[in-house]
Structure 1
Amino acid sequence: MATLYQHHLLPLQRLPNSPRRPPPRLRLPTKPSRHHNRQLRPRAAASTTATVSAMEDFRRWLASHGAGDGGKAIPAAVPEGLGLVAARDLPRGEVVAEVPKKLWMDADAVAASDIGRACGGGGGLRPWVAVALLLLSEVARGADSPWAPYLAILPRQTDSTIFWSEEELLEIQGQCAMQKFLPVVVCWDLSVTFMLLLSLAGTQLLSTTVGVKEYVQSEFDSVQAEIISTNKDLFPGSITFDDFLWAFGMLRSRVFPELRGDKLALIPFADLVNHSPNITSEGSSWEIKGKGLFGRELMFSLRTPVNVKSGQQIYIQYDLDKSNAELALDYGFVESNPSRDSFTVTLEISESDPFYGDKLDIAEANGLGETAYFDAMRDACKSALADYHTTIEEDEELSGRENLQPRLAIAIGVRAGEKKVLQHIDGIFKQREEELDGLEYYQERRLKDLGLVSDNGEIIFWE
């Protein structure tokens, strides 16, 4: 993503041969969200802020369970929503929060809960689904839940695109209602033609958002039929898709990236830490370690990656490798850093091609695999740009306006970034064509392998 011409080898994907089914009607909450600082970003840009009494209850709850580390960091209301504020000057690498495992919402917590007992320990569910059901069941318990003070401070939604209204999603919708595929000739041999697939149905963020919502809907339909409807005592009232989507959004935005999959866990208190683009290191922000007698009690330990003055907010770097589209989807913010802009282009060879093997061999010889994904920076294709309903210049003018709504700012940032990337795709392939004379032809390499041609291309004769 950070280089102009980077590719990643992935398994072959077949060319599409059937139209994509239309996305479901999007039914999202439409509560307005607060304006946030555009550089320092919250883990999940909250549309609501916890009350003072809720924050006091939360602090008391943490203290009663031994969470924290000598009061070095205080959960507090900050411009971004909620965050961690330094109670004193903190040097780089200082532990600012420790959270015992008994407070985590993870697979072990699921197994020990009524949800786990109803689902056979939860082992048959996807980890995120199991924790999402635990989250919803504990919310349903209200004040009786052992996590009640934590649940009370969670936002109703974030600025993640999965919570956007249909009107807001139009800001990342292109003018084209169909998906188009543009053939582009990329020759490493005179007989080789690859297919460049470009989705022109709006920004890639839009298609990803719709795809994620479809996936969450399918998981909800499954657990609704198999678990929720058969365990009414665990889910009093009605659990809707919007409820399930909220739980998914909380996990997506608050779980530390390395704690996903089978290790997925919500870490109360530590998950309040916000993101800053000014922090460019990830490695020293946190660890899980043993504590207590013989180190048997697991503890999540959060460190500050930079020096922090008393009263200042503590920040970390969420993920250096995420694009702006991924940041918008997961957390509900984007950065102005152009290195976060990306557009994924797929080069494919159809398996039905009679020369599939030869073409694949040629591609691999030139540094490509069966499928190559180019996370091209500032790359473009003019034919794709026509499907955006604004120009880069118009987006730049809009982004400079005061009091811009956060979700509109996200939409402008993502689509402008994609367009800047698209502007250079044509240039990349033009440059590649200009380099053809310097590339080794397939036949020539075969002859070299047989010892019939020298390294400088001359035919070898025998006496």
Structure 2
Amino acid sequence: MRRGHFSLDDLPAWSTLNGVNFVDVAVANIDGRGNGLVAKKDLISQDGDSEPLKLLTVPKELILSAESVEEYAKENKNFRQLLDTAGRQSARGDILLFLLYQLVLSSPDYQGGLGPSTPWTQYFSLLPSHVPTPTMWTELELSYLNGTSLESAVAAKLTVLTKEFDGLRENLATLPHWNEILSIDESITIRDWILLDALYRSRSLGLPKSGESMVPCLDLVNHSGQATAYFDENSEGEVVLYLRKGCVAPTGSEITIDYGLDKSPAEMLFSYGFIDPSSAARSITLPLEPLDDDPLGIPKLHAFGTPPKLKLEEDDSGVPHWTAPFVYLMCLNEEDGLRFRVLQETDGSRHLAIFWQDIDITNVSNTMKDLIHDHELHQVFELRVVTVIMGIIQQQLEQLTSTQNGDSVVGLANTEVRQAISQLRSLETGILQKSIQVLDEKRDQLLRDDTVVEYLTMMGSDQNNPGTDTAADEEEDFS
């Protein structure tokens, strides 16, 4: 659907009309960074100042949150019908439906019939029609993510967005006006839904009172690792942007906030479409799956409860460390003392429980590393874990390095995508290589452990000299 027109020149009047207060700052187009906030005069915030310097105040009525969506539904029966039919599954989903509504209301193709506009109707037209997040990349650009941690994440996200849009079309088929827009005229397509999701992910903020929300004007402030400002909600529910204490912002300089320095490069790229080269956060997160030959793989996955991940993260010294609670479940078997049972409650319901050494650990299965610490074969279990993780990392590194032949793809990508792709592949390659070195040293150390040596010797002896009892049991089972 065609976008409405709302320029930066219109923003001051819109802000005045809707109670948005800019103090000695203004929105401007910044070369290579899109719209941003700049100082109109020298701004100084002393460490000893009793109150931080206010730069921007946005009234509560303009904050787009789960609560405000519900309030809007009370005022607009047409939107309430949309929300009742296709929403109320998540705060994100409801906000996306609100944005969809504003997309229609603000479009020059809109013929009326959905109710009056809101302050967000105009403001929505100021938001970009393209966000450089991977979900909006071309297929050619996406192919260069092969082997990175984002390959599966972006593919899964696009699958989810497609299912959401298909479900939206199905749900709204009973509403004549929306059915016409979505199905007959095809004025709104999957690309619009992907854009709305990208706008939400790249512009939503975690507010202490309102939760995950979008805040007009504040969402125009760009990121920096050396941020000069921060935001908060005051007692009246307003969102206020403050200059950090001790900061000096000369006239014409950009005012920035921190989008999250603890986010990994892949997280920054996935949510915002760029990687901060100055960020000290160096980590990679990979999905985990049960071992192919593990008969308990499915119940382990079910009992764990959440999608298992392997996170590799470098410390301040550049040494990688790994976190993967599920991998301990992957490496334990029935003969080690791991059991699964289906328990029936007094109300007749049943659930799968997991036991370690006959103790129910269903609710603490993510602490398996601590639970096995006092076991006599603790070091043996650690060796299994290290070996499995090394295999996963080695496979990921091989995939990453084997796909580093996409110069033609990078050449066809725009500058932002080209830089992001190169940064991500370089960072993840370095983390994976360092991790293998650290794990290789850990494995060698474990292989010298007396308990491990004794266990491996015993296992080798058992395999080379099967006992007569085993043969007798097999003969008895056969008969």
Q: Which one of 1, 7, 11 corresponds to residue 58 of structure 1? A: 11
Query: 1:247 corresponds to which residue?
Result: 196
**Deviation of the 1:372 alpha carbon:** 9.3
Sequence identity percentage = 22
CA distance in 2, matches of 1:332, 1:372: 34
Match of 1:109 among 55, 68, 71: 68
SS at match of 2:28: strand
Distance across 2 between alignment mates of 1:404 and 1:422: 27
2:316: which partner in 1? none
Distance (Å, rounded) in 2 between the aligned partners of 1:384 and 1:264: 33
8 Å CA contact 2:130, 2:195 repeated in 1? yes
Q: CA deviation at 1:362?
A: 6.4
Q: Is the 8 A contact 1:86 1:312 kept in 2?
A: yes
Equivalent positions of 1:312-323 (< 5 A) are 312-323=253-264
**CA gap 1:142/1:391 in 2 versus in 1, 3 angstroms:** closer
Q: Is the 8 A contact 1:84 1:272 kept in 2?
A: yes
Q: Does the CA contact (< 8 Å) of 2:223 and 2:259 recur in 1?
A: yes
1:381 and 1:422 in contact (8 A); partners too: yes
Deviation at 1:441, TM superposition (A): 6.1
Q: Closer, same or farther in 2 for the Cα pair 1:289/1:424, shift >3 Å?
A: same
Separation of aligned partners in 1, 2:260 and 2:8: 28
**Hey, what does 1:90 align to over in structure 2?**
43
Letter of the 2:29 partner, please give it.
A
**Backbone CA RMSD of aligned residues:** 3.9
CA distance in 2, matches of 1:159, 1:64: 31
Alpha-carbon distance change, 218 to 110 in structure 1, aligned in 2, over 3 angstroms: same
Deviation at residue 431 of structure 1 after TM alignment = 2.5
- Candidates 78, 96, 99, aligned match of 1:135: 99
How do 1:185-264 and structure 2 match up within 5 A? 202-226=147-171, 228-233=172-177, 237-238=181-182, 239-258=188-207, 263-264=211-212
Q: How many residues align?
A: 345
- Counterpart residue identity of residue 210, structure 1: A
Aligned AA (1:67): V
CA shift, 1:337, in A, is: 4.0
CA distance in 2, matches of 1:404, 1:221: 30
- Structure 2, unmatched stretches of 5+, are 46-51, 108-115, 183-187, 286-309, 311-323, 339-355, 358-367, 453-479
Q: Where does residue 457 of structure 1 map in the other structure? A: none
Is 1:266 equivalent to 2:189 in the alignment?
A: no
The Cα shift of 1:56 comes to: 1.7
Give 1:246 shift: 1.0
Q: Counterparts of 1:372 and 1:217 in 2: how far apart (Å)?
A: 37
Give the letter aligned to residue 99 of structure 1.
Answer: V
Per the alignment, do residues 110 and 78 of structure 1 end up closer, same or farther by CA in structure 2, a change over 3 Å counting? same
Correspondence for 1:333 among 274, 278, 302: 274
Match of 2:124 among 122, 140, 151: 151
TM-score, scaled to structure 2 = 0.62
Shift of 1:217: 2.2
For 1:364 and 1:252, locate their aligned partners in 2 and report how far apart those are by CA, in whole Å.
Answer: 40
> Are 1:76 and 2:28 counterparts?
yes
SS of residue matched to 1:243: helix
Please say if residues 76 and 84 of structure 1, whose CA atoms lie closer than 8 Å, have aligned partners that are also in contact. Answer: yes
Q: Judging changes above 3 Å, is the alpha-carbon distance between structure 1 residues 311 and 428 closer, same or farther for their aligned structure 2 residues?
A: same
Distance 1:290 1:338, change over 3 A: closer
Q: Counterparts of 1:259 and 1:413 in 2: how far apart (Å)?
A: 33
Residue number in structure 1 paired with 2:243: 304
Aligned to 1:406: 416
List gaps (5 residues or longer) in structure 1.
Answer: 1-47, 174-201, 292-297, 443-463
CA contact 1:304–1:315 (8 Å) conserved in 2: no
For residue 248 of structure 1, report the CA deviation from its aligned partner. Answer: 0.8
Q: What secondary structure, in the 3-state scheme, does the structure 2 residue paired with 1:354 have? A: helix
Q: 1-side partners of 2:274 and 2:169: how far apart? A: 31
What are the Cα deviations for residues 112-148 of structure 1, in whole angstroms up to 9, with x where unaligned?
A: 2332354349873211111101111111012752223
State the match for 2:351 in structure 1: none
Q: State the 1:89 CA deviation.
A: 2.0
Does the 8 A contact of 1:203 with 1:415 survive in 2? yes
1:432 aligned to 423, 442, 445, which one?
A: 442
Distance in 1 (CA, whole Å) between partners of 2:87 and 2:122 is 27
Which residues in structure 2 correspond to 1:249-398 (within 5 Å)?
249-258=198-207, 263-279=211-227, 285-291=230-236, 298-305=237-244, 306-337=247-278, 339-344=280-285, 345=310, 346=324, 347-350=327-330, 352-355=333-336, 356=338, 357=356, 363-364=372-373, 381=393, 384-389=396-401
Separation in structure 1 between the aligned mates of residue 192 and residue 28 of structure 2, nearest angstrom: 26
Q: Which moved more, 1:345-354 or 1:102-111?
A: 345-354
User: Is the Cα contact below 8 Å between 2:123 and 2:216 reproduced in 1?
Assistant: yes
How many angstroms apart in 1 are the aligned matches of 2:449 and 2:205?
44
Kindly state the Cα deviation for residue 153 of structure 1 after the two structures are TM-superposed: 1.0
SS of residue matched to 1:252? helix
CA offset at residue 108 of structure 1? 3.1
Cα distance, 1:429 vs. partner? Answer: 1.5
Q: Which has the higher contact order (CA 8 A, sep 6+)?
A: 1
1:206 aligns to what SS in structure 2? helix
* Counterpart amino acid of residue 156 in structure 2: G
Aligned counterparts, 1:5-16, within 5 A: none
Change (3 A) 1:73 1:234: farther
Whether 1:124 aligns to 2:88 is yes
Q: 1:361–1:138: structure 2 CA closer, same or farther, 3 Å change rule?
A: closer
Shift of 1:220: 2.4
TM-score by length of 1: 0.64
CA contact 1:381–1:424 (8 Å) conserved in 2? no
C-alpha contact 1:395 1:416 (8 A) present in aligned 2: no
Deviates more, 1:156-165 or 1:86-95: 86-95
Deviation at 1:207, TM superposition (A): 0.9
